[in-house]
Structure 1
Amino acid sequence: MGISTQMCNYTQKHITAKEKSWDRQAAALDSPAYRITLTDPLGMAKPWNMGKGQGSQGQEGFYTKEEVKDLIPTLSAKNAQGRNIFITPIDEDHHYLVLDDSSAAQVDELKQHGFKPALTQESSPGNVQAIFKIPRVKNSVTEQKAANNVVQRLNKEFGDPNFSGVIHPFRMAGFTNPKPKHKDRNGNFPFVQIKTAQGGLCERMAQAMENPRIEKATVTRKAIIKAVAEEKKQVNGLTSAEHAFCRAWHKVKGLAVAKGWPLDNSKIDFRACKELLGRYRKEIVKAALVKVSPSIETRHSDLKDYAHRTVERADQERIQEQAKSKKQRRGMSMGGR
């Protein structure tokens, strides 16, 4: 057997092992789509979102589990070049809460209290990631905040205290963790290994979401006012602009529901921003949009760019409408003289 044949067999063996790991990981997560992100552990190169600009009309494209599997040879080559391989489940119906930098003992403690992860994996020697899958309530203005609060409390107690939010990438199983600090004396990096992959929803974790979450139908003006009043009581830490965005967002959504219009969260974002721009500076409106718009992180990967484009476009339309209205009033005034 020649050297080239041996190398080919060696490579195929590793590809097959990664495919088997992905099959287990994907079965446990059971997400309809995934984002794939490659990063440089040294920070020398920008992160690469493989789906950026690959969707319809230049939007972000996501990958099914089969499409991810087809990309494994490419991802394997990038991993061999020193890139981290991360995935993010994209699922409108579920949250995937990540417990990062934990330990087997801490995860076992959570299990004893009824918290059942869909997936646990060792991302580096002694470091365990646990993924808890729970139902997601669509179009709730406080859903994202509630989920962020839960995952932050979870990590503060059992994992990484600096963990930021619920929509967070984690390592793809079967690939190496190429952080320099993990290189062994032989120059090898550890593989991300699946420990458990039972799948399913974690009811205990879902219960932790109930208190922070607010559910209100906002079809009528009375319902809108009531929902906003309850949000003021129950959602702490929001600025006046963020509260105003909540009110405007629900108002626009309520109008759309009442009129029977198709619900498009991005269009609702646009109208809500437009309402705020007469009272708040553009940068404040952008910040409010990013913080409280429902499901914004699943709809747009580059939040800064999306907020900038939405607010600028809303401001342009607002200015144009003001100019048109002013011109019409001037014409009426001239005609009355």
Structure 2
Amino acid sequence: MVFQKRIDRTYLAVRRQLQGMRCSSYEVGLFDRRDKQSLRGIVTYSQEQVLNAVGFLKSKNASGHDIFIRPKGSQGLLLLDDVSQMMIGRMKPHGDHPAAIIQTSPANYQVWVRVSNDPLEEQLATEVARSLARDYGADISSADWRHFGRLAGFTNQKPEHRISCGYAPYVLAEACQGKICPSASRRLALAQKSLAAIRASRQVYSPRTLSRSSKPSPKAFYTRYMSLYLKRYGEQIDKSRMDFAILRKMAQRDYTAAEMAEALREASPGLAMRKAGHEEDYITRTVRNVLDEYQSKHFFS
């Protein structure tokens, strides 16, 4: 009798995603849903080492850990988080071909887009990621050069994504072409122009003076506008976009970056659960993106 070796579907899914990402090295991190504090155990791997670690990662996933991955450093590969299937369909006709499409749970997607085969300056990579996020309705606060995405072949341990029978859904690697997008040169040129404008605005921009006593506390300001947004759009509102919108208003009132970060820490609803493992990264990115956008608009107004 001839016994055929069983194919490890997790191994195949991981290999498929890595073929789409096509990086020289990766960082793999574990998030323990029981801990809910931070992404732990971040390890640098080659592609071969990631594949060799599949057995270990499966055991951690089975014990309640989510498995995340990103390129090691800025390698020209950018993540779009929380992209709809409809928007993914619009990417290719506009030259923004995905390098890898990852279904993180039913009807929820992350998309990796390659805009360079060479390392990119971090600010430039972030500006390209932000432009892509704006164009395709992705989470702008997650758009930067170093964001973690889920690794295919493992289950998504978020309780809200469990299917009716109670099982956690598998993260799936869909189309993984691994090619640089045709729009890369145009995207990079526009991002360089935008960065130049932002840097120029920082040199000439002088914020209006406003006394501390004339402003509510950061928490009070955030809470006031949060109540208005929840009343208008309901509890299902995208909380990350609400964060961004309220911080825009804070920028217009000349709140400092530290005050805006304070508002998110103290008042953003469910932040620890929504951004589990990278709350401070999320806060830093969101504040920076809001201020960059505000200063750029002020320069051109």
CA drift at 1:19? 0.6
Give the aligned residue type for 2:126: N
* Cα separation, 1, equivalents of 2:165 and 2:55: 24
1:153 maps to 2:131: yes
Is the CA contact 2:73–2:146 (under 8 Å) kept in the aligned structure 1?
no
Sequence identity (%): 26
**Which of 173, 181, 186 is the aligned partner of 1:194?**
173
Q: Could you list the per-position Cα deviations for residues 87-123 of structure 1 after superposition, in whole angstroms to 9, with x for gaps in the alignment? A: 111266x311111111221111111112111110111
The residue aligned with 2:46 is 64
1:174 maps to 2:153: yes
Give the aligned residue type for 1:169: F
Deviates further, 119-128 or 94-103: 94-103
Give the aligned residue type for 2:16: R
Instruction: Say which structure, 1 or 2, has more relative contact order (CA 8 Å, 6+ apart).
Output: 2
The residue aligned with 1:323 is none
Is the CA contact 1:182–1:189 (under 8 Å) kept in the aligned structure 2?
yes
Is the CA contact 2:117–2:180 (under 8 Å) kept in the aligned structure 1?
no
Q: Could you list the per-position Cα deviations for residues 105-148 of structure 1 after superposition, in whole angstroms to 9, with x for gaps in the alignment? A: 1111111112111110111110111111122666x8xx322221
The residue aligned with 1:329 is none
* Cα separation, 2, equivalents of 1:22 and 1:109: 26
Q: Residue 235 of structure 1: SS of its match in structure 2?
A: helix
* Cα separation, 2, equivalents of 1:239 and 1:164: 25
* Cα separation, 1, equivalents of 2:72 and 2:117: 12
* Cα separation, 1, equivalents of 2:63 and 2:95: 41
Q: Residue 35 of structure 1: SS of its match in structure 2?
A: strand
Give the aligned residue type for 1:63: Y
* Cα separation, 1, equivalents of 2:86 and 2:196: 40
Is the CA contact 1:212–1:234 (under 8 Å) kept in the aligned structure 2?
no
- How many equivalent residue pairs? 202
CA drift at 1:45? 4.3
* Cα separation, 1, equivalents of 2:66 and 2:72: 19
**Which of 102, 127, 131 is the aligned partner of 1:121?**
102
* Residue correspondence of structure 1 range 32-47 to structure 2 within 5 A: 32-41=24-33, 44-47=36-39
Q: Residue 213 of structure 1: SS of its match in structure 2?
A: helix
Q: Residue 168 of structure 1: SS of its match in structure 2?
A: coil
The residue aligned with 2:72 is 90
**Which of 187, 196, 199 is the aligned partner of 1:235?**
199
Q: Residue 88 of structure 1: SS of its match in structure 2?
A: strand
Give the aligned residue type for 2:88: V
Q: Could you list the per-position Cα deviations for residues 72-98 of structure 1 after superposition, in whole angstroms to 9, with x for gaps in the alignment? A: 111111111111100111266x31111
* Cα separation, 1, equivalents of 2:141 and 2:198: 25
Is the CA contact 1:119–1:132 (under 8 Å) kept in the aligned structure 2?
yes
- Would the alpha carbon gap of residues 44 and 18 (structure 1) be closer, same or farther in structure 2, given more than 3 Å must change? same
Give the structure-2-normalised TM-score.
0.60
CA drift at 1:183? 1.1
* Cα separation, 1, equivalents of 2:154 and 2:203: 43
Give the aligned residue type for 2:131: R
* Cα separation, 2, equivalents of 1:207 and 1:42: 44
* Cα separation, 2, equivalents of 1:23 and 1:145: 30
CA drift at 1:43? 5.0
Over the residues paired in the alignment, what is the CA RMSD in angstroms?
A: 3.0
Q: Which runs of 5+ in 1 are unaligned?
A: 1-11, 52-61, 215-230, 241-302, 305-337
Is the CA contact 1:33–1:63 (under 8 Å) kept in the aligned structure 2?
yes
* Residue correspondence of structure 1 range 89-108 to structure 2 within 5 A: 89-90=71-72, 94-108=75-89
Is the CA contact 1:98–1:132 (under 8 Å) kept in the aligned structure 2?
yes
* Cα separation, 2, equivalents of 1:43 and 1:156: 33
* Residue correspondence of structure 1 range 1-337 to structure 2 within 5 A: 16-41=8-33, 44-51=36-43, 62-90=44-72, 94-135=75-116, 143-158=121-136, 159-213=138-192, 235-236=199-200, 238=202
Is the CA contact 1:35–1:63 (under 8 Å) kept in the aligned structure 2?
yes
Q: Which runs of 5+ in 2 are unaligned?
A: 205-279, 282-301
CA drift at 1:238? 4.1
* Cα separation, 2, equivalents of 1:146 and 1:79: 34
* Cα separation, 1, equivalents of 2:185 and 2:108: 25
